[in-house]
Every structure is written in C-alpha cells, then in structure tokens.
Amino acid sequence: MRVAVIAIAALTLTGCARISSLNPWGGGEHGGAGAPHGWSYEGATGPAHWGELSSACAAGREQSPVDLASSVAAAARAPDIRWQAAHSAEVLNNGHTIQVSLERAGGVVIEGETYELAQVHFHHLSEHTVDGRAFPMEAHFVHEGPDGRLAVIGVFIEDGERHAALDAIWEAAPSTFGEAALEERFDPRAFLPERTASYRYRGSLTTPPCSEVVDWTVMATPIQASAQQIAIFAHAFPGNARPVQPIGRRFVLRTP
C-alpha cells in the first residue's frame, strides 16, 4: 500500500509518473511493455524475429553487439573524444529505453572524420559482453557522422557508487512513452571512465533495422551506479539487450 501512496503523490506533484517513482523492488508498471514500432525483446516480436522487419537483422555479417573477449591488442588509435556540457537535453521514454537527446554536446574524431554526439541511451543488461560476462547496464553515446555513418561509444555500468548525473535523468524520465526537458545541465564527460583503454570494431545498430553503419568503441573500464539506480532502470526495462552476434570475419581491436 505504501508504494501506491508514493506513486500517487508523484503523479499529483508532476502530473506524469517518472521511472524513479516506480518501486524498483516490487511488481507493477513497466515502461518497456508492449512492442512499439513492431519489435520488442521477447516472444513473437523478439530478437529472433527482427529479420522479418529488416533482413540485415537476420542476414547481416557485421551485427552488434558481440562478445569482446577475442580482442587483439593493437596500436589502433583511440577515438578523440571532444564532449562538452550539452546546450540542452530532453529525456525520452521511447518504449524500448530511456534516451537523452542532446544539442551541442561536442563529438568525437575518428580517422579524421568528425561525428556529432546526438543522444545517449541505456541498456540492461549490457549488450556487449566480455568472455560471456554481461555488466548490469551499458550506456550508448550515439554520434552522427558523414554519409549516414554512426560512431557509438559504449560505457559499461557496474554496481557500486551512486552516479550523480543518473539521478536527474531517472527523475525526469517518463514511466511510459513521453518526453521531458532535463533541467540539470547534462555533461557527457561525467560518464567517461578515467582509463581510456577501449575495444573497437565495425558493427551495426543493436535494434531494427540493424543497419551496418556503426563504428563501435566500447570502453574497457566500467563506471559505477548504485544498486538502486540500476534497479530503477531494470524495473522499467526488465531486459532491453540484444543477444551477442557472431563476430564472423571481423576483428575486435583493443587500444591502450
């Protein structure tokens, strides 16, 4: 009963429930329920059926995510991350994840090409794995480059210290479809681990249409969020990770 009272209080205050007002330790409303856009993470619209929506999801040879354990230590240059505090940020619940859409948040330079940071969103569990092991969460920083190409930087999140920037996002995030302004200034640099070692490979979007247009970088060192912060997201999105895909003829490079 206490849970219901808290939820009603939150509704009264804001007019719209937030994922942070759902009880992460109990049952109840799920922000990720249903199959918006015709796909989901389970059952008849789950990953095994995504090929019915887009052939690349089933027939592609450079799909993501992958297991990163077979990486090759390489002199490959790490991407030059030039993030900055965003000019503005909107928090969106699109039924599959919580996404923070960003304006003027800097970008990344890879092999001389500049990609602009457009949004960050979250997965539970992590989509990439290391030797079969998933982390509790993974953040994807999506950058848009020339000719429709994307550069995505993945950051693993493990259970540990509370992450200050996540609180504001969870507090703003609608519990069902919808969008809200993020009042607090969003600085993506708060999500970068101190160590710059990373995994790099060529891959795809991890959701339909699974387009093979992504230059992937996954930071080797996780950052931390509290068990409660992870539980709030996991409750709203009980499983929004695509299973790992075959590496095929590709190599995963590991930068120092």
Q: Is 124 in the site for Zn ion (CB under 5 A)?
A: no
Look-up of token digits 């993506």: 188
Q: How far is the CB of 209 from Zn ion (least distance, A)?
A: 14
Rounded CA-CA distance 194/150 in Å is 24
Q: How far is the CB of 86 from Zn ion (least distance, A)?
A: 18
Q: How far is the CB of 121 from Zn ion (least distance, A)?
A: 5
Q: How far is the CB of 154 from Zn ion (least distance, A)?
A: 8
Q: How far is the CB of 31 from Zn ion (least distance, A)?
A: 16
Rounded CA-CA distance 169/240 in Å is 18
The pair of three-digit structure tokens given for residue 166, joined into one six-digit string: 């996540």
Q: How many residues bind Zn ion, per CB under 5 A?
A: 1
Look-up of token digits 């953040």: 139
Q: How far is the CB of 151 from Zn ion (least distance, A)?
A: 13
The pair of three-digit structure tokens given for residue 111, joined into one six-digit string: 């092999």
- Nearer to Zn ion by Cβ, of 119 and 228: the residue is 119
C-alpha of 164 from chain center: 17
Compose the 131-170 pattern: x for residues touching Zn ion by CB under 5 A, - for all others: ---------x------------------------------
- Nearer to Zn ion by Cβ, of 140 and 163: the residue is 140
- Nearer to Zn ion by Cβ, of 21 and 63: the residue is 63
- Nearer to Zn ion by Cβ, of 17 and 210: the residue is 210
Phi, psi of 58 (to 5 degrees): -100, -35
Contacts of 95 (CB under 8 A, 6+ apart): 31, 32, 34, 36, 37, 177
When CB distances to Zn ion are compared, the closest residue is 140
- Nearer to Zn ion by Cβ, of 140 and 235: the residue is 140
- Nearer to Zn ion by Cβ, of 14 and 54: the residue is 54
Would you say the C-alpha torsion 21, 24, 26, 32 has a positive or negative sign?
positive
Would you say the C-alpha torsion 138, 20, 164, 100 has a positive or negative sign?
positive
Q: How far is the CB of 15 from Zn ion (least distance, A)?
A: 29
Contacts of 236 (CB under 8 A, 6+ apart): 19, 22, 30, 31, 32, 93, 98, 173, 175
Quick count: other Cβ atoms within 10 Å of Cβ 31? 26
- Nearer to Zn ion by Cβ, of 7 and 236: the residue is 236
Q: Which residues bind Zn ion (CB under 5 A)?
A: 140
